[in-house]
Amino acid sequence: MRLDRLHLRNFRSYREAEVDFSPGLTALVGRNGQGKTNVLEAIAYLSTFRSFRAATTEVLIRDGEDAAHLRAVGVRRGDRDVLLEAELNRSGRNRVQINRQRTSRPREAVGVLRTTLFAPDDLAIVKEGPQLRRTLVDELAAALDPRADGTLTVFERALRQRNALLKQCGGRLDAAAALTLDVWDAKLAPAGERLMADRGALVEALAPEVGEAYRALAGRQVSVEVRYRPSVAPGSFERALTDARAEDVRRSITTVGPHRDEVELLLRDAPVRTHGSQGEQRSFALALKLGGHRLVAATVGEPPLLLLDDVFSELDPQRCDALVANLPVGQTVLTSADRLPPMAVADVVHVVADGRIG
């Protein structure tokens, strides 16, 4: 879906706002704290129906209001008009409609509007623990095939139930609890195997795209690797659960499985997390997103909408120029607190000030 227009009502700082977008590069420029990122958050929400800034949707609703409304107008492949709407409620269920047809749940609309988002906080993907890297891979898998999100949901639900049972055991396993644990193991193992297979295949396809994106940003040839390291060997998850059962009961938590997987990021054969400079880490984080963007475009046949939040403040002038020179084909929306770099020629520039978009 190409996004042509976004209308917001009572979303974050906006009582009412409407933004038009170019098929190419659209820039939102203004001082910090004026509401630029709120626009990107709204677009990203209509893509994933989750906020990349908040754990709950309640904080997305303007203070004093009961609901927020988002409406995106665009065109899908074949010049088909699309109207994508979301209603976020403080009480009651959130609602999503596609061309005035309500979905039974918001997640059914995932894939209508595909986006790739890079925000300053994404540096944590490189610098912090493995959970953020697993999330990156899982979200990319869902962007490629919404059914992958279903696999993750089944796994996470079974894992929560298994962990809850282990906590109830209090370090001792009786016959009834053992039988119930067998049931959750039978649900957890196949979902975990599918999840590991999906992650392994995706990382294998993603790695060369990330390398190409990083080298374009760096402007030189350098060894870049992305490796998937599952915590258990594929095909052995159920046996691993059985072998770890005594330890799991003792610690009241599931100690093996895909929730312990690692995605290694290597630059010049060393972990970029510990051996890379700040600039190299930022470039790697951006390359991960751009690599995923290229992979989705190649797989689904059209590029996602690229969202870049304050990216120029995170890069030195050389890398800023390299990013602009290598922006992927398709639609891009970016924010900047300063003037755009000389090479960044936007088709449309909106000035954001005092919560208004001009």
User: pLDDT tens, 291-321?
Assistant: 999 999 999 888 999 999 999 887 888 888 8
pLDDT of residue 215: 96
Q: What's the pLDDT at 97?
A: 95
CA distance 21 to 346: 11
The residue written with tokens 């924010």 in the block is: 335
Q: Which two tokens stand for residue 155?
A: 């796994």
Q: What is the pLDDT along the chain (358 residues), one digit of tens a residue?
A: 899 999 999 999 999 999 999 999 999 999 999 999 999 999 999 998 999 998 889 999 999 999 999 999 999 877 799 999 999 999 989 999 999 999 988 878 888 999 999 998 999 999 999 999 999 999 899 888 877 888 999 999 999 999 999 999 999 999 999 999 999 999 999 999 999 999 999 999 999 999 999 999 998 999 999 999 999 999 999 999 999 999 999 999 999 999 999 999 999 999 999 999 999 999 999 999 999 999 999 998 889 999 999 998 878 888 888 999 888 989 999 999 887 888 888 999 999 988 889 8
SS3 content of the chain, % helix, strand, coil (to 5): 45, 25, 30
What is the dotted CATH code of the domain comprising 1-114+304-358?
Answer: 3.40.50.300
* Neighbouring C-beta atoms of residue 15, cutoff 10 Å: 12
Residue 204's nearest CA partner among 224, 226, 223, 222 is 226
What's the pLDDT at 295? 96
d(CA 140, CA 127): 19
Reported as a single tens digit per residue, the pLDDT across 51-76 is: 999 888 999 999 999 999 999 999 98
| 313 secondary structure, DSSP code | G
CA atoms of 207 and 188, how far apart (whole Å): 28
Spatial neighbors of 59 by CB under 8 A, at least 6 apart, are 51
